[in-house]
Structure 1
Amino acid sequence: MPLKLGLIGYPINHSLSPWIHNEFMQRLGIEGEYLLYEVPEANLGTMINHIKEMKLNGFNVTVPYKQAIIPYLDFLDSDAEKIGAVNTVVNENGKWKGYNTDGQGYIRSVKMSFPDLFGASKKVLLLGAGGAARGIYRALTHEPFERIDIANRTGERARSLLDVKEDRVETSILSFQEAEQQLFNYDFIVQTTSVGMKPNVADQVISLENLKENTVVSDIIYQPILTSFLKNAQRQNGRTHLGHAMLLYQAQLAFQIWTGKTVPLDRTLSKLEQRLRGNE
């Protein structure tokens, strides 16, 4: 029977998810479809009932519904419950179970490019404290880093992430100014805000003047694919990790949840990069 998959969010006409999951199905010889369900907030309940009637095998959830979807689900994966947000739902014998693949997908994408980064002596700086930062911070705390500090415009928002961390993890809350001054302390910097996204491509959340050479600098923005933040990291002899990798690896995990199959990403990663560069 053909797979029936989709994405719920608003707005989502720009989404690359249909392209990605159709690539996955084609790669594995699976028949199916992945459709967009662009739902204004006032219509969420009606659309959920419609999707239940359609009996989708699974679907993704994006902004603004990663939290709003939870009351409609029957079960939550332990990580999704801890994070308080869902981006992947699977239909298990008529019951809906929610997962969050953002953080795990992000970590998987970094490990593929920088396996040397994951060690007990390494220090991480996380920039931002929004929904994406929450899932990524949770995933980072499962890795053997010495410390993971958080810098954000407001300290209160940053401190709200601490309820998802592992007890062994050391974390300090910094202002952006403090982070700039201490930048040379870190081996890995993760930019999770929307600063630098199209159309404001010249913007940058902090200065990288004090960046240590060979520090891995990551930006989860993928439009533009090479942000101002990453360009400046390269000028400071940093190593860069592009945002489209996270997009693809979290989709790979979602597809694995739906089908039990792992899609090789070697060719798909380069095809996605070419597609994004063509839009610049």
Structure 2
Amino acid sequence: MAITGKTTVTGIIGWPVSHSLSPVLHNAAFQALGLDWIYVPFPVTPERLAEGIAGLKSVGVAGFSVTIPHKVAIIPLLDQVTPEAELIGAVNTVVAREGKLIGYNTDGIGLIAAVREKLSFDPAGKHILVLGAGGAARSAVVSLALAGAAGVTIANRSHDPAAALAQLVAARLPETRFATRGLDCLSDAGFMGGFDLVVNTTSVGMAGDSFPGLALSALKPGGCLYDMVYAPPVTPLLAEARALGIPCANGLAMLVAQGEAAFRIWTGAIPPKGCMEGALAAVL
């Protein structure tokens, strides 16, 4: 598709950002729908974030994605933030409307869509174990609670980040019970038997590593595993789940779903079914 003076520009800011697969997702969808839009990477260093945001706003960029390390730092630079993004404490999608920059977080939307589509799992009334307590865990914990989870337990190597996250979210979402544990609990079959779903929000698996002693086989009957890691497509954690016959999926579906949500925010259009996932799978 030819780029002209009428082409609408979107993109992604981060540092570094050249490795991002988001241009693959969005440009495939723009092309499939015949939209005169383009999505490009914008490398923005942390110390120049304010300048970068002001520049994007001044040149009329329609919207942009936000990745590491800007998801938190960008919030005070925006004109408005949605309640969910404010609760999560991070923004990954920005849209320009009537001269204002509005921040969203579609990571949680992506997770819920992924577990429903790939695992036929509805969080409502369920008990869920979240591995990790970083930014990805925060969006997972909030989105699972908003989806009606009865209980969310955060297991993390360090206690303080997990406790801080649980305390913060519990104060805002009292209908869900929150708890924290150390990673040593993962080898306790009695503990693991209390969960319907395990969500890995950490980078464990990217380098072929795993969680030693994880008692996956003790999950509730029908229990599932969702691993946010998508490269490699089959982590040791997923391989173990498959060997045990446990329904599982990698992070590809979440990446696609959060991208589709951002696409709808910017364009008001829905990407063709399978368009983004097919484009991403071809690259991976």
Q: 1:239 aligns with which of 216, 238, 247?
A: 247
In structure 2, relative to structure 1, the CA distance for the partners of 1:37 and 1:4 (3 Å cut) is same
Give 1:168's aligned amino acid: E
Output the CA distance in 2 between the equivalents of 1:164 and 1:119: 17
User: Contact between 1:127 and 1:190, CA under 8 Å: does it hold in 2?
Assistant: yes
1:89 maps to what in 2?
94
Q: Which amino acid aligns with 1:94?
A: G
Deviation at 1:210, TM superposition (A): 4.3
Q: Which runs of 5 or more structure 2 residues have no equivalent in the other structure? A: 1-5
3-state SS, counterpart of residue 168 of structure 1: coil
C-alpha displacement of 1:116:
4.4
Equivalent position to 1:183, from 192, 201, 207: 192
Supply the distance in 1 between the matched residues of 2:259 and 2:213 (Cα, whole angstroms): 31
2:140 corresponds in structure 1 to 136
**SS at the partner of 1:141?**
helix
CA contact (8 A) 1:208 1:233 kept: no
How far the C-alpha of 1:113 sits from its partner, in A, is 2.0
Q: Which amino acid aligns with 2:54?
A: N
Overall identity of the aligned pairs, in %: 37
Give, as a single letter, the amino acid of the residue that structure 2 aligns with 1:148: V
For the 8 Å contact 2:199–2:226, the answer to whether it is kept is yes
Q: Is the 8 A contact 1:176 1:206 kept in 2?
A: no
Match of 1:250 in 2: 258
Deviation string 1:167-204 (CA, Å, 9 cap, x unpaired) is: 0111221111113312222110000011121xx22x11
* Corresponding residue of 1:111: 116
Give distance in 2, aligned partners of 1:65 and 1:251.
17
**Structure 1 residue runs of 4+, over 4 Å off?**
none
- The match for 2:85 is 80
Q: Does residue 42 in structure 1 map to residue 44 in structure 2?
A: no
Q: Which residue of 2 aligns with 1:145?
A: 149
Corresponding residue for 2:203?
194
1:53 aligns with 2:58: yes
* CA drift at 1:267: 4.2
CA contact (8 A) 1:209 1:236 kept: no
1:173 aligns with 2:180: yes
Distance 1:102 1:256 in 2: 14
SS in 1 for 2:162: helix
Letter in 2 for 1:140: L
CA shift, 1:53, in A, is 2.2
Q: Deviations over 1:128-165 (max 9, x none)?
A: 01001101110000123331111001121012222234
TM-score normalised by structure 2 residue count: 0.90
Amino acid at match of 2:152: I
On the 8 A contact 2:200/2:227 being kept in 1, the answer is: yes
The 2-side partners of 1:114 and 1:196 are apart by 20
- Residue 220 of structure 1: how far off its partner (Å): 0.6
Aligned equivalents of 1:259 and 1:20: distance in 2?
14
Q: 8 Å contact 2:119–2:248 — kept in the other structure? A: no
The 3-state SS of whatever aligns with 2:164 is: helix
**2:152 matches 1:161:** no
Distance, in Å, in 2 between the alignment partners of 1:164 and 1:244 is 26
Aligned mates of 2:138, 2:98 — CA distance in 1: 30
SS of residue in 2 equivalent to 1:126: strand
> SS where residue 5 of structure 1 aligns?
strand
Higher relative contact order (CA 8 A, sep 6+): 2
Q: 1:85: Cα distance to partner? A: 0.7
246, 259, 272: which one aligns with 1:264: 272
Mapped to 1, the partners of 2:80 and 2:41 lie a distance apart of: 23
- Give the partner amino acid of 2:28: E
In 2, Cα distance between the equivalents of 1:6 and 1:26?
15
Which residue is equivalent to 1:204? Answer: 210
2:118–2:253 Cα contact (<8 Å) kept? no
Q: Which residue of 2 aligns with 1:225?
A: 233
Partner of 2:24: 19
C-alpha separation between the residues in 2 aligned to 1:194 and 1:60? 21
Which segments of 5 or more consecutive residues in structure 1 lack a partner in the other structure? none
